[in-house]
Amino acid sequence: MVEASQTAGMTVYGQIAIDHIVDVNDLLRVGPVTDILHIGKAGELIFAPGSYLETEEAYIPWFFGPFGTYFPGEKHWADEVIRFGGRVIEIIEKGLVRQLGVPNKDLGGGGPNNIKLLHQVFRSFPIQFIGTYRRRPPEERGADIWEYALGSRVSKLNLVPLHEHPPINICFEGVGPKEDRTIIRSPFPALSFDRLRDIKWPEPEGSTIIINTIYTATLAVEALITATTRSNLAIIACTDALCSKQRFSDMEIEFFRYRYPTVDFSDIFSVHDLILKYVLPNSGAIIIANEKELEHLTGTQIIDRRGLRYLGGVLSGLDQLQQILGNHRGKIIFTMGKEGSLCLDENRVLHHCGITESPGQIAGKTGIGDLYAGTIMGYEHIKRSIRGEVTNVAFQMTAAAAAADIGVTKGFRAVNVLGIDSGILESWKKYTWLGPLHDVARRAEKLYGPISDAKLEEIEWIKISESGKGLSGPTLLEDDIGRKWLCPPFVNSEAQ
């Protein structure tokens, strides 16, 4: 375990995910899975009705299914995950089960990915992780490899044993026009009131509370209410999974009213409701979201059926979120993939930072949003919780963009202080101070006509900025943050 210090720390609420990763082309070449799977014209995975896939975790076979049709680059939920025996034998006898093969396995999930980034770039403050994990029988002693991997990067690991199976994601790669991962997630059914009442949630120890993807409703509600009522600084990555519209079960609502008597659950029936009606209006949290997530959170249409994204939807969604935040004026970070990122700061001023396109093969796509978000989180925590300073948005965005750029070109593991420093200068060339949100909308309309029809990829951000020019600033993290809070090596220095 990392040795904790007296420095202000952070608490990360998240969900461990064990990624079982397979290349679909290899799977179809070497195995009998072709009996139940073929690829459609749009790159969709089409499984035979009622079929299952078998994978192995913790030396136990687990069966996912029944499968259907899944479109590429999206995340889906399996109906169930079950162990061998009983009904599984009947399914096997019907010829509807095939092995996943020999997947590559990795620790995943937004929270663990944020911690990986924090561990690689920042130092000298303790990190606590609060999450859930599977219930293990008494004969299984000690931590498994995934608990150990995460525990080695944090000061304190608090995992509540809630689930009957490991939190496995089956990740198919190599399908669709962009060859993004198509992910099938483990489901986590609601628990009974008695089981919920017996949960002993760990106490958060950090002055900053970070919340990322959470699949379990009870953990999500605990994290969000704790962040609202007990944190100095809350940072929420508003993923679709966290902001679930899945209706709480009657037992969950009964439990929430029992555990959180000061929160009015009379018109809150999902985590999505809780975030919009309670968390954002009362916490002043920093929000991080991408196009799909902002659309899911606010209901504002940003992406059309062809996958095209429009400026009008983006600005409308940001304005709607800012109104929900109200007088708290929390910062909103919005990522747009190859179109870069926007930040609507506490003063309703909009900033843009583009990406640095690199020729040649892309080393990584998965987790790039978590790299960006993790840099934002570490930067914000050091500046506000440790040093008591106001965060400079431009410095923060250029550093986060440089981290994401290096992740794309060299992979997640290559992101460190030296790598980020090598890209900050290029990120400054892509940074633009745009001005007040409504002024940006007005100037964009003069240039592009109705902004509801202005495609994001066609926007020249420098043309709709108030000043018509970008800015410049520090090109090394240590110049703004200081070496004390960063992991070496540094530019022009030996590792310390």
pLDDT tens per residue across span 111-126? 999 999 999 999 889 9
CA distance 474 to 424: 8
Report, as an integer, the average pLDDT of 83-105: 87
String of DSSP letters for 270-290: SHHHHIIIIIHHHH--EEEEE
pLDDT higher than threshold 50 for residue 496? no
pLDDT for 178 equals 67
CA distance 62 to 199: 26
Q: Where do the H-state alpha helices sit in 198-310?
A: 217-230, 250-259, 271-274, 280-283, 291-298
pLDDT higher than threshold 60 for residue 240? yes
pTM (2 decimals)?
0.92
Tell me which of 391 and 326 has the higher pLDDT: 391
pLDDT for 311 equals 95
Report, as an integer, the average pLDDT of 434-455: 93
Nearest by Cα to 395 from 460, 479, 331: 479
pLDDT for 174 equals 85
CA distance 280 to 118: 25
List Cβ neighbours of 220 (8 Å cut-off, separation of 6 or more).
211, 214, 242, 244, 271
Report, as an integer, the average pLDDT of 315-336: 89
pLDDT for 307 equals 83
pLDDT higher than threshold 60 for residue 3? no
Token representation of residue 361: 């093969």
Note whether 394 and 471 are within 8 A (CB).
Answer: yes
* 296-333 as b/e: b if 16+ CB within 10 A: bbbebebeeeeeebbbbbbbbbbbbbbebbeeeebbbb
pLDDT for 270 equals 97
Instruction: Decide: helix, strand or coil at residue 406.
Output: helix
Over residues 157-201, the pLDDT tens digits come to: 999 998 888 999 999 988 776 677 899 999 988 888 998 999 999
Tell me which of 252 and 144 has the higher pLDDT: 252
Over residues 273-301, the pLDDT tens digits come to: 999 999 999 988 999 999 999 999 999 99
What are the structural domain ranges in the chain?
10-16+107-481, 23-104
pLDDT higher than threshold 80 for residue 328? no
Q: pLDDT-derived band of residue 495, with 50, 70 and 90 as boundaries?
A: very low
**CA atoms within 13 A of residue 412's CA, in its CB half-sphere:** 21
pLDDT for 296 equals 94
Best CATH choice for the domain 10-16+107-481 from the list 3.40.1190.20, 1.10.540.10, 3.40.80.10, 2.20.25.570: 3.40.1190.20
pLDDT higher than threshold 90 for residue 20? yes
pLDDT higher than threshold 60 for residue 28? yes
CA distances from 444 to 315, 453, 456 (A): 11, 11, 11
Note whether 487 and 417 are within 8 A (CB).
Answer: yes
Note whether 129 and 150 are within 8 A (CB).
Answer: yes
Mean pLDDT of the chain: 89
The answer to whether the Cα torsion of 286, 291, 296, 299 is positive or negative is: positive
pLDDT for 364 equals 57
CA distance 46 to 41: 10
Note whether 381 and 125 are within 8 A (CB).
Answer: yes
